[in-house]
Amino acid sequence: MTGKEYQALAIRTCSIPYDCKADRLYHAVFGLNSEAGEVAGILQKKYQGHEVNLEHMEKELGDCLWMIAEACNALGTDIDTVMQMNIDKLKARYPEGFTVENSLHRKVGDI
């Protein structure tokens, strides 16, 4: 499945009307933070004696992905484009792979 295919299937389950882009974006950003917290909570429970449940973590990561799909939709872009932009940024920042030097000394405008 491509990112675009996932996004199209995921957005069918969004309850916020299509023309309410700002509400969709806010919902996505707040939801992504919430879902990422759930991922972190799975690891945090280790310190309370629980086993790390990797299947539960995968499901919560899926919820994070759903929120990213909603955010992309609200911004008028798609997951495939965002993925490619990220890889292009990383290739420019780390042409030979990650280095501490390149991490510490980024070019002006490299966000």
* Predicted local confidence at residue 111, as pLDDT: 84
| pLDDT values of the chain reduced to their tens digit, one per residue, 111 residues | 999 999 999 999 999 999 999 999 999 999 999 999 999 999 999 999 999 999 999 999 999 999 999 999 999 999 999 999 999 999 999 999 999 999 999 988 888
* Predicted local confidence at residue 107, as pLDDT: 87
Q: What angle do CA 73, 91, 1 make, to 5 degrees?
A: 40
Which tokens belong to 18?
């299509």
